[in-house]
Structure 1
Amino acid sequence: MARANAAYYAGRDPFADFVTAPEIAQAFGELIGAWAAVCWQSMGAPDPVLLCEAGPGRGTLMADALRLAARVAPAFRAALRVHLVETSPRLRAVQAEALAGADPVWHDTIDALPDGPMILIGNEFLDALPIRQMVWTPAEGWRERFVRAGAFVLEPAEAPPPGEAPVVAGQVMEFCEPARAIVAGLARRVAETPGAVLLLDYGPDRPGSGDTLQALRDGQPAPPLETPGEADLTAHVDFPALRAIAEKAGAVVWGPESQGAFLSALGLFQRTEQLARGKPPEQARALVDAAHRLAAPERMGQLFKAMALCHPSMGVSPGFSPSRSNPEDGVRA
């Protein structure tokens, strides 16, 4: 999965196959910029501060966030330094054009980001990281799914990490080791130095298991093992597991919250109304439809989630409920 996605992003325009939230509505990136500005104030307004994005796509989200910051939070705009985590040379060139004047600095990995106060955004970043899939059978015990000669095969395996999900014979159990390592590292960092991380992606907000590996090629679902490197491979993000890991590492975790509720709390529809005001009716309707596409439960609003990792001193993260819900047992903490 890692090799296939590396080839895919290096050699193709992924936005021919899918559209991310920043490309749907400029209000998305602007609201993320507002979220970052409020977090910066909660951090004590450090100068300088790293404003980072992992998997920045075309640079649209960052460009919209910077434009908003320059207009409503000029002190934040002056203090921030843009850092991008991107491995694709082709996408780096696109980002450089979109962010001309922002002097972005690129890194191959999150671990390569410099020390210091940091705000990091990851929108549809974790879902493309490689997963492992395991199956428990009464006769053979744990088996792990591998790829051999273009087909899935099951091989003997040790038990997966404990506490993942109830063992059900024949049911696929999925976990993403790179996502867990990244979240643990980010959580340790923001717990030690005031900072914040916002992760937006798709996946459940309660523990679960099952085969969620999927592929998109030419904008259509495709068999995951067909023409590797020519399709985008993704899997659902296990937010409950990542929350537990981040809390263990010392961060205060907000969410996961549905993307619809998160964006609505940040003012998605109010900002959309402002953008639509004075526009021709067709353009105004397109802006409103884009907002509903991001927030409506039957579209992206429920499947996509938002989760924030913050330093304990920062208070309630913008866009989240003052009570942090525990997705594993449904109680309020």
Structure 2
Amino acid sequence: MPDPAPPAGRDGATTGREAERLDRFMARAAAAYYAGREPFGSGGDFTTAPEITQAFGECLGLWAAIAWEAMGRPDPVVLAELGPGRGTLMADALRAIAEMAPGFRAALRVHLVETSPRLREMQAARLAGTVTAWHDGIGWLPSGPAIILGNEFLDALPIRQFVRRGEGWMERFVADGAFVERPALDPPPLPAEAEEGAVQEVNEAARAIAAALGARLAAQGGVALFLDYGPEKGGLGDSLQAMAGHGPADPLGVPGAADITAHVDFAALAAAARAAGAAVQGPLPQGVFLGRLGLFSRAAMLARMDPRHATRHLAAAQRLAAPEHMGRLFKVVCLCHPGLPTLPGFEDT
């Protein structure tokens, strides 16, 4: 968008370039990226947990079935996924649910929140008529009890970045593939004390979603389970990054050329949900959560059923849960109705 005033550069000087606030740049880049690329799998830019092993989606499907039991077995119930990719997670979840929890399968109605027409087509092909409806945002989901899943959804939401300069904060804008800084005109609450050059990230979109879901779950019942990467407690630091071809890329490059993400501030997410009336379970490391759900037992079963690929099945579980891989960096948090008991995986948290 045209910059109404010359933006301040890193050294405080002004430039004549047009600049775009970082969150707006990220939103535009994400829309271009998912509209024009095949991002998933070995031929794409990154591989998500559902693409690594079917056991991941199966475990989440059975977790959802237990959550449904704890909710009092509402019928019908919305089973929604936010950012469902190629539909792999939902397909694996539904297969496990149909086999192990037929009552839940009969009661659930599948809803997907997806804005990309290309990905909607892929999801329709993978899920073969099981989707009740697609939606552009959570506000379009039908009312009533709901179980909502979001795997690597929050990290793609646009962030704002603020940089400590002197006694105040500047905000980062993007112009010509580089950061420029401007005085923060409408900042959210920021730390009163910070070192020169410290960066504070704020994901207003994620906080708004947590607040909206918190209010919905408190009023109508249900759970929202998010799995994503980031620290359990938010803090200062620049986590903006991009992936292309399974390697790092310039996050400020041509919009749509790479997948741009940032770490999730789980503490801020939980605070927004609680303020709206929901309870929060977690966050805890993904490896702990999946281990408690039986990921390794399921991987061993798959290895016995498919001995030619036994090593692949076992290695996939290690990749998702081992601390040195995804098990520690990725976290799991559940927003839920305050009357629900502790759900599987969240014991002792």
Q: Considering the TM-score relative to the shorter chain, is it more than 0.5?
A: yes
Structure 1 residues 169 and 33: CA distance shift in structure 2, 3 A: same
Shift in alpha-carbon separation, 1:192–1:166, aligned structure 2, 3 A: farther
Write the letter of the residue equivalent to 1:195. G
CA displacement at 1:220 relative to structure 2: 1.5
Map 1:116-155 → 2, pairs under 5 A: 116-138=144-166, 141-155=168-182
Q: TM-score by structure 1 length?
A: 0.94
Residues 208-253 of structure 1 deviation map (CA, whole Å, 9 limit, x = unaligned): 1211110112221011112221100000000011111111111110
1:310 is aligned to 336
Distance 1:164 1:200 in 2: 27
Cα deviation 1:153-199 (Å, max 9, x = unaligned)? 00011474336585222111001100000010001111111100000
Number of residue pairs matched by the alignment: 321
Task: Name the residue aligned to 1:173.
Answer: 200
Q: Is the 8 A contact 2:35 2:117 kept in 1?
A: yes
Equivalent position amino acid for 1:301 in 2: G
- Choose the corresponding residue for 2:320, options 291, 294, 298: 294
Root-mean-square deviation (CA, aligned residues, Å) is: 1.3
1:25 match: 53
Letter in 2 for 1:75: G
Query: Using the alignment, how far apart are the partners of 1:157 and 1:214 within structure 2?
Result: 22
Query: Which residue pairs with 1:331 in the alignment?
Result: none
Residue by residue over 1:80-105, the C-alpha shift from the partner in whole angstroms, topping out at 9 and shown as x without a partner, is 00000000000000000110031331
Q: Distance in 2 between matches of 1:223 and 1:60?
A: 28
State the alpha-carbon separation in 2 of the partners of residues 208 and 142 from structure 1. Answer: 15
The aligned residue for residue 5 of structure 1 is: 30
The separation in 1 between residues aligned to 2:123 and 2:37, in whole angstroms, is 15
**Counterpart of 2:127?**
99
Cα deviation, 1:284-318, whole Å, max 9, x if unaligned, reads: 11000000000000000000000001111210011
Asked if structure 2 preserves the Cα contact closer than 8 Å seen for 1:214 and 1:223, the reply is: yes
The answer as to whether partners of 1:187 and 1:310 remain within 8 angstroms in 2 is yes
**1:190 is aligned to 2:222:** no
Identical positions, percent: 61
Of 58, 74, 86, the residue aligned with 1:46 is 74
Q: Which residue of 2 aligns with 1:206?
A: 233
* Aligned amino acid, residue 337 of structure 2: H
Structure 2 residue matching 1:192: 3-state secondary structure: helix
4+ residue runs of structure 1 moved beyond 3 angstroms?
A: 163-166
Q: CA deviation at 1:62?
A: 0.3
Runs of at least 5 residues in structure 2 that lack an aligned partner in the other structure: 1-25
Normalised to the residue count of structure 2, the TM-score between the two structures is 0.89
C-alpha contact 1:165 1:209 (8 A) present in aligned 2: no
For structure 1, list consecutive stretches of 5 or more residues without a partner in the other structure. 325-333
Distance 1:223 1:217 in 2: 9
Question: C-alpha separation between the residues in 1 aligned to 2:299 and 2:137?
Answer: 34
